[in-house]
Chains A and B, each alone.
Chain A
Amino acid sequence: METFALSEPVLLVLLSLAEQPRHGYSILKDIESMSGGGVLLSTGTLYGALQRLLENGWIERVEEDSTPRDRRTYRLTSRGRRNLQMEIERMRHLTKVAALRMARKEA
């Protein structure tokens, strides 16, 4: 079981791919739109994250003969989806605890 916390770029890349398979530039634009323009990833950061996710088997390349080499598409694997779900659960738990703590503080 992988219980480590994800970095923000990795989490955003996973969330972007959770909706549909995307290529690099589409992931960048989706993350920008998802965060309301607050998170602008560089290509270095994006491909660093993609490479690590590929190596860990969380995402995979969609192999199509028609796809040019400079515009390859990535999608979430079942392992990646499961781990993303676990991370969301972890964050949900954390926000619940945070809300409780804040409520106690205000009371």
Chain B
Amino acid sequence: MTLTVYRWMLCLYPGSYRGEIAEEMTSVFLDAQSTLPPALAAKISFYRREFCGLLSGALYAHFDRLFGPAIPFRRFDMQSQFRFPRSTVLLMLVIFAGTVLTIAKASSIAGARPGSVWPSFVSVGALMLLTMCTAAAVVVGILHALRRSGVYRLENVQGRMDSAESNGKP
């Protein structure tokens, strides 16, 4: 199943690129998959990393093909240790659930009152989708800025220094 998705996503790469390295990438993916730890979290993290990597890789490959290597080795690739805060994920899930419930409630009220001024389910849905896309764009922008600034790395270094100090002083 995951291999099928992986191969399908490889189709997003430019044809020449795909012909050259798709087979090799698939082989490395299978090797990495075969050594995955049994924990569910590790598997989710692995597939998320792989599929996001493919998406961004395909995007950069098309970018390079169109514009050439204008930016030879990008600093904004530095995001390997970035961790998305769990609290933010939870908050986003709560907001998403609230949005879905609101849409459901609005559509039921609109259905119970014929000729009411409530907007239709489709227009509410479209508005919600637009809002969510805008919010996602803002979040991606903030994350991109954080990755470029390396703020999370400073936090990691500070954390290591604090723990080293606490180990040194009983």
Contacts and interface: CB of A to CB of B under 8 A. Distances in A.
A7 B25 contact: no
Question: DSSP class of B's interface residues: helix, strand, loop or mixed?
Answer: helix
Contacts of A24: 24-25, 27-28
A69 B28 CA distance: 12
Contacts of B27: 24-25, 70-71
Q: Interface residue tally of chain B, by bracket? A: 20 to 34
Contacts of B76: 7
Contacts, number: 95
B116 interface: no
A8 B61 contact: no
A43 B56 contact: no
B59 to A, nearest CB: 10
A42 B24 contact: no
B3 interface: no
Give the size range of A's interface with the partner: 20 to 34
A70 B26 contact: yes
Interface string B67-94: 0010011111110110000000000000
Contact of B57 (A4, A38, A45, A69): A45
Query: Which of B21, B50, B64 has the most chain A CB atoms closer than 10 A to its own CB?
Result: B21
A18 interface: no
Contacts of A62: none
Interface of B: 17, 21, 23-29, 31-32, 49-50, 52-58, 60-61, 64, 69, 72-78, 80-81
Interface of A: 2, 4-10, 24-25, 28, 38-52, 55-56, 69-72
Given A43-B28, A71-B24, 4 more contacts: A8-B78, A9-B80, A42-B53, A52-B64
